[in-house]
């Protein structure tokens, strides 16, 4: 691995609240809690991660499109749109457009060369249109959801996605890079610092990004594999997605810790993600006196 200097920052591009049964799945089927739940989680961030690598600036996820809050026709009409709104509510605080959030991180939108989408749900893929110059990478299996008769049933809104902009990622053998139990992935710059790994379950083609730098613990940016790294450690998976696949993916990530004992999981809606990535606290939220995560 090259001793490349990589700067990693978390920015919040919108806020979401979901049903408690979504944060950690229970025995209650999704349809049941979607229709009956009267409780919401606290407001949670919609995190994106900016990575400044010598070979280019990479953005992991793009966050919530402010139009999803202001435009009543953003979601599908009728029953389906109602279900979307029952499952998650969004708001777009001032300064949390993608442009505003990245500017606060000192990175102009025009500097983003590559975007990695953890998956195609609108709170992750919502701002692709704001990055007309960037290459947008999506897992090939996830991209195939756009060929389904009703992508909306998978949480994907094709009306807001320009398919011609999306480049499929096809995972291949990781050869000499021992990331078992992960044997396939995609090494973004061929230097081992940024490796995409297939982590399906929340959606058909969800993927995560392993970030390895010199002298600091590796990060695994997992999107919506979990809402909370502590739940992932405990093997609890969110209440939306393919349960057995989610559990398999969680087990793989926990097994990866054998290879990378210091691994720090960064979740898309974890309020602690920014502090964890800044190295101020450990994954469990405990203060790290050494400040090195």
Those residues whose C-beta lies under 8 Å from the C-beta of residue 118, and which sit 6 or more positions away, are 60, 61, 124, 206, 207, 208, 209, 221, 222, 223, 224, 268
Those residues whose C-beta lies under 8 Å from the C-beta of residue 278, and which sit 6 or more positions away, are 9, 10
Q: Which residues bind Zn ion (CB under 5 A)?
A: 123, 224
Least distance between Zn ion and beta carbon 207 (Å):
14
Least distance between Zn ion and beta carbon 146 (Å):
18
- Strands 56-60, 112-116: parallel, antiparallel or unpaired by DSSP? parallel
Those residues whose C-beta lies under 8 Å from the C-beta of residue 144, and which sit 6 or more positions away, are 204, 205
- Which CB sits closer to Zn ion, 15 or 123? 123
- Which CB sits closer to Zn ion, 21 or 123? 123
Cα-based angle 56, 59, 63 (whole degrees, multiple of 5):
160
Least distance between Zn ion and beta carbon 90 (Å):
10
- Which CB sits closer to Zn ion, 34 or 193? 34
DSSP state string for 91-103: E--TT-SHHHHHH
Least distance between Zn ion and beta carbon 87 (Å):
11
- Which CB sits closer to Zn ion, 171 or 269? 269
- Which CB sits closer to Zn ion, 174 or 274? 274
Least distance between Zn ion and beta carbon 79 (Å):
22
């Amino acid at each position: 691995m090259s001793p490349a200097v990589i700067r990693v920052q978390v920015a919040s591009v919108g806020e979401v609240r979901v049903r408690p049964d979504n944060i950690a799945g229970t025995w209650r089927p999704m349809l049941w809690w979607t229709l009956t739940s009267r409780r919401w989680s606290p407001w949670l961030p919609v995190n994106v991660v900016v990575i400044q690598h010598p070979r280019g600036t990479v953005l992991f996820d793009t966050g919530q499109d402010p139009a999803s809050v202001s435009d009543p026709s953003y979601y599908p009409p009728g029953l389906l749109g109602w279900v979307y709104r029952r499952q998650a509510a969004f708001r777009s605080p001032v300064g949390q457009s993608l442009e505003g959030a990245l500017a606060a991180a000192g990175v102009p939108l025009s500097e983003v060369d590559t975007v990695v989408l953890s998956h195609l749900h609108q709170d992750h893929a919502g701002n692709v249109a704001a990055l007309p110059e960037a290459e947008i990478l999506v897992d090939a299996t996830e991209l195939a959801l756009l060929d389904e008769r009703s992508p909306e049933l998978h949480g994907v809104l094709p009306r807001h996605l320009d398919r011609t902009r999306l480049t499929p990622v096809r995972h291949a053998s990781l050869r000499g890079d021992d990331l078992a139990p992960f044997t396939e992935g995609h090494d973004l710059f061929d230097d081992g610092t940024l490796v995409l790994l297939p982590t399906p379950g929340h959606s058909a083609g969800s993927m995560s990004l392993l970030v390895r730098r010199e002298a600091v613990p590796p990060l695994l940016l997992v999107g919506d594999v979990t809402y909370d790294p502590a739940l992932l450690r405990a093997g609890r998976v969110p209440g939306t997605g393919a349960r057995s696949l989610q559990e398999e993916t969680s087990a793989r990530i926990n097994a990866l810790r054998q290879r990378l004992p210091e691994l720090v999981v960064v979740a898309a809606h974890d309020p602690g993600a920014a502090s964890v990535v800044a190295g101020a606290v450990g994954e469990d939220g405990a203060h790290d006196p050494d400040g090195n995560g």
